[in-house]
Every structure is written in structure tokens, then in C-alpha cells.
Amino acid sequence: MTINWFPGHMHKAQKEIRALLPEVDLVIEVLDARLPYSSQNPLLAKIRGHKPTIQLLNKADLADADVTGQWLQAFEQVDQAKAYAVSLSEPAVMKQIPDWCRAMFPEREVNKKPIQVLIMGVPNAGKSTVINVIAERGIATTGDEAAVTKRQQRIKLPKNVILHDTPGVLWPRFDNQYSAHRLAIAGSIKSSVVDMGDLAHFLTAFLAAHYPQAIQERFQVSVDSVFDTADEMAVYELMEAIAKARHFVKAGHQADMERFYRQLITEFRQGQLGRITLETPAMQTKEVAEVEQILAEKAAKKAARKQRFKKKR
């Protein structure tokens, strides 16, 4: 299933971000630590220029700590960028964010000109939760469904930092469908526009390949060391075995797969499967190259069609 979701309010928010960016000193991008690459908005890379940026890998307590370390190192290589791992389980760390903003401008005195900061992130990355923790009051609306925040807000923080909150935004088209699936699994894409069975298949195959111990520990179902995650029937049979192990069965001892699909995604989102990260920097490098090749092939075919049309005329 091809996944795309870009409702009208996101198009408006994207235009507002473009307009606001020249007016701020710093950008904070809130990423989901379980999918730091997929939750990066490509718009920011295109328009930030040399604007200082802080990337917050939020929900770090749900992510694989070793892989989070790899991502922090990778993000630190970007010019004018700093990266930090944060989570609601450690609010004291989140409350250092105004200090981190100040550290990006050591020459600016606290009591003089405020630091103007734009904060952005994909839906359900936890941006509103971060804001509420550092503001020490319930300012931003939070929720488990994607796209809760739908308007800009201006919030005064400690250390003379002014935060400009923006709605959670995605982008018009997902060239990388792996990323689209990860975002949907994490809850960044509205559930009504995705196929839960497709997401559960994607997640089960990933777990079998990278976290087989999570399947064993959570469901008491073992994964063969030579399990072929490219074999769709084998993945389905594994899902069926897990569903039955959880006693998700219907009449005739048939596995209740719809119930399993929903439960698997819910348990991942809540961290009940263990600390899991859905992508690594190495996977990003590979997928970026694959997407570039696919787009180049599409462009070549389009150019060839235009050329044939010209000859016919």
C-alpha cells in the first residue's frame, strides 16, 4: 500500500513556517528517536540555510539506546546543528532546552535581546509535550492522534527565549515508502488513511530481522535464525503464530488477525515490545541512494516520453 497524507492545514502550516523562518534565530526540530531519519522534515533541510538548529530525539526512553547514540553522532556532523536525546521520563533534561538555546548564542546577554526560536516536528513526535514541560504549564494541546496542534503559538520560556510553536507537518509526497510506513507505525499519519495489516506486516518483518528477542520475550514465539523476512507468507505465518500465542482467536480456532494488527502497533507505540528503533544511519544512507535512483529513472522516462511526443509533432 502506498501511503500519503497531507491535509490542507499542513499546507497552510508549511507556508507559515517558510514565512517565519527568516524572523527567528534558531530552529528546534523534534524528532521521534525511534525513527530520526523518517521524522525529519525534508523542507527544513531545503530552507534552513545556515540557521542554527537543535534536533531533539524525543521518546528516547522507547528507543534502542545504542542506535540513538549512532544518530546523535550522525546529526552532530551537520553544520550549525546540535542534537540531544530527551524523553518525558526525564523532565529535568527537557528543562535544559532553554540553556541549550542560549549556548548556541554565547555572545548574547540573557537580559538583552531575546532568542527567537521556531519549534517544529511531524505529528505525534511529542512536540507539544516538550513545550509543556519546558514552559512548566499546559500550553500546547497533546494527544495520541496525529495532528493535534493546528495553529501557531508564541510562548515565553526561561532564559529570555521566545518559542514559536507550529503545527505538526508532513510533506506532500513520500518518495521513501519505508519512511511512510515507519511514520504510520509511530502514529504520525492518521490511522484512517493506512492499512493496519500492511503496517503490522512491515513491523513484524523488521522485528524478526533486527529484534527477534523482542518477539520471543513478549510473545513467547521463537524466530528461526534463517527466517526470510522477504517471504511474505512466512511473515504472515509468524504473525498468525503470535496472534494465537496471545489467544487472539475467533470461532474455529482461526487467528483474529485484525485484533492482532491493532494490538501490535499499539504495543510498539507504548514501548511494550521493548526499546526499539526502526532505522539506523546505515539504513538511511542505503535508502537515500535507492530513492535517488528511483527518482532519476522516473525523470529519465518522463524526458523520453516528452522527446517521443515532440518527434510525433
H/E stretch holding 81: strand 81-85
Measured in degrees and rounded to the nearest 5, phi and psi for residue 58 equal -80, 160
Binding site listing: 58-61, 124-129, 168
Bridge-based pairing state of the strands 153-157 and 161-165: antiparallel
Binding site listing for GTP: 58-61, 124-129, 168
Distance CA 214, CA 199 (A): 17
The total of other beta-carbon atoms located within 10 Å of residue 108's CB is 13
List the grid coordinates of 172. Answer: 506532500
- Does residue 131 contact residue 167 with C-beta atoms inside 8 Å? no
- Does residue 136 contact residue 92 with C-beta atoms inside 8 Å? no
DSSP state of 124: T
- Does residue 47 contact residue 22 with C-beta atoms inside 8 Å? no
- Residues near 163 by Cβ (< 8 Å), separated by ≥ 6? 28, 117, 119, 131, 134, 135, 154, 155, 156, 157
The total of other beta-carbon atoms located within 10 Å of residue 281's CB is 16
Q: Which stretches does DSSP call E strand in 144-292?
A: 153-157, 161-165, 249-250, 254-255
Bridge-based pairing state of the strands 26-32 and 53-58: parallel
